[in-house]
Chain A
């Protein structure tokens, strides 16, 4: 039997934490882009966009992320695609993130006073110009703190990818537990690493929030 020191455990967990960070980044960037597209579709009042995006948001916010991961994993296999855990997890988390971000950002756009829309429209700005020069910058200011805060949810969400066999921090913890029979130590280390990843972001989000409110 191989002996694992505490450092061996932590070192292996740190190596696996890279994939937690990578998956979070993919989900956050991908989700941000899809969320932005959905937001624009909603603002531009494309026919059916309001109901369609509303339903999309409701479905992703009203079902467990775990089920979404399973559906991505087995659904893609059903379509005859060779699915890796990477692809299924990336896809499910991207869609999940996009549903939350588009809803957060819509709230931010709604928080911009209506007069701003009317004033910019009366200056004959097109919708694109309105969003780029008038509404966007104001909404962005409000949007930063909750968006950063949601990043923490994404990082925690990636832990579920372990269930479909994606090897990240949580899955590595399970594997190391099976090798060392020290679940208490290993899961405490796993929790600590997640905490070290998430807590600075939470604190940053709170500080941004305070700054925003002081500014007004």
Chain B
């Protein structure tokens, strides 16, 4: 006979709340920096000098073809032997930024490459500099074109951050684990955490859908 006891898990709500906030903060920081990195990489690949474009291409391929957990372990366990010691939270943010940066680069590049040539030429004919053409003419419509894909990717990175609990970064899955180690209600603890992740994913998706046209690529 299976008896479930969610009360024992929900009684630990302050821990769950801390985890929820920590995951949200982790995701917010990584999303902002990661998308910025992605835009920079997209610029480098489509508009930048050839050697830089090749370096960025290698970075993108390397990250997209290895698991996030291995990237995280490499940063957290591997880097100290080079003398770089990171806190679990710092390693998590760094791993998420590097990961999102690579995926965002590919997504944004697709948008950038879809820009009609005439628009770029029109920008130059108005005496805009190369940098101005990219940031004012090419980028905003490019972001607006790929915003749904970018939104999905940010949500994927948020869900991926559950792995960060494995290096003792104190986020939602870490606290779920802590709770189940206190009251041995593993299944219930993970069900509650999973539902919280689901709510975060739905909420984040709505937030980005709302915020994108208002603040990111304007009007």
Instruction: Tell me the bound Cα distance from A6 to B64 in angstroms.
Output: 25
Q: Is the interface of A mostly helix, strand, loop or mixed?
A: helix
Contact with A along B193-207 (1 / 0, CB 8 A): 110011001100000
Determine whether the beta carbon of B166 is less than 8 Å from that of A64.
Answer: no
Q: Which of B60-102 contact A (CB under 8 A)?
A: 61-62, 64-71, 73-74, 77-82
Q: Of the 9-residue stretches A40-48, A137-145, A154-162, which lies at the interface with chain B?
A: A154-162
Q: Determine if A202 and B65 form an interchain contact, defined as CB atoms under 8 angstroms apart.
A: yes
In the complex, A62 has a CB within 8 A of chain B: yes
Q: Are B67 and A183 in contact (CB under 8 A)?
A: no
Verify B198–A62 contact, CB threshold 8 A.
yes
Give CA–CA (A77, B194) in the complex, Å.
18
Distance in angstroms between the alpha carbons of A27 and B93 in the assembled complex: 30
Q: Total interface residues on A, using CB and 8 Å?
A: 40
In the complex, A59 has a CB within 8 A of chain B: yes
Evaluate whether A159 and B67 lie within 8 angstroms (CB atoms) in the complex, with A74-B186, A187-B78 already known.
yes
* A156–B78 touching, CB < 8 Å: no
Q: How far is the CA of A59 from the CA of B191 in the complex (A)?
A: 12
| B30 contacts partner chain A, Cβ-Cβ < 8 Å | no
Contact indicator A191/B74 (Cβ below 8 Å): yes
Given contacts A160-B163, A163-B166, contact A64 B197 (CB under 8 A): yes
Stretch of A29-37, A110-118, A128-136, A193-201 contacting B (4+ beta carbons < 8 Å)? A193-201
**When the two chains form the complex, which single residue of A67, A71, A195 contacts B66, counting CB atoms closer than 8 Å?**
A195
User: Is A120 located at the chain interface by the 8 A CB criterion?
Assistant: no
User: A191 to B194, Cβ gap below 8 A?
Assistant: no
The verdict on B24 contacting chain A, using a C-beta distance below 8 Å, is no
> In the complex, what residues of A have CB within 8 A of residue B59's CB?
none
Contact among B74, B161, B201 for A63, CB-based, below 8 A: B201
B213 CB within 8 Å of chain A: no
Given contacts A62-B202, A170-B67, contact A187 B74 (CB under 8 A): yes
Which residues of chain B are within 8 angstroms of A127 by Cβ–Cβ distance?
none
Instruction: Report yes or no: B194 in contact with A71, Cβ–Cβ below 8 A.
Output: yes
Interface residues of B in 1-36 (CB under 8 A from A): 2
Of B79, B159, B162, most A-chain CB atoms within 10 Å: B162
Q: Can you name the residue of chain B whose Cβ is closest to the Cβ of A76?
A: B187
Q: Smallest Cβ distance from A123 to chain B, in angstroms?
A: 37
Is B217 in the interface zone, CB < 8 Å from A? no
A14, chain B: closest CB distance, angstroms: 16
Is A66 interfacial (CB 8 A cutoff)? yes
Q: Is residue B190 contacting chain A, with contact meaning CB distance below 8 A?
A: yes
**Contact residues in B for A195 (Cβ distance below 8 Å):** 62, 65-66
Q: 10 new A-B pairs (CB below 8 Å) besides A59-B198, A187-B74?
A: A64-B162, A66-B162, A74-B190, A156-B65, A156-B68, A160-B163, A162-B69, A183-B73, A194-B66, A202-B61
Q: What is the interface of chain B, defined by CB distance below 8 A to chain A? A: 2, 61-62, 64-71, 73-74, 77-82, 155, 159-163, 166, 173, 176, 180, 186-187, 190-191, 193-194, 197-198, 201-202
Pull 22 A–B residue pairs with CB atoms less than 8 Å apart, ordered by A: A62-B202, A64-B159, A64-B160, A64-B173, A64-B194, A66-B163, A74-B186, A74-B187, A74-B190, A156-B65, A159-B70, A160-B67, A170-B67, A173-B73, A183-B77, A183-B78, A186-B78, A187-B73, A187-B78, A190-B73, A194-B66, A194-B70
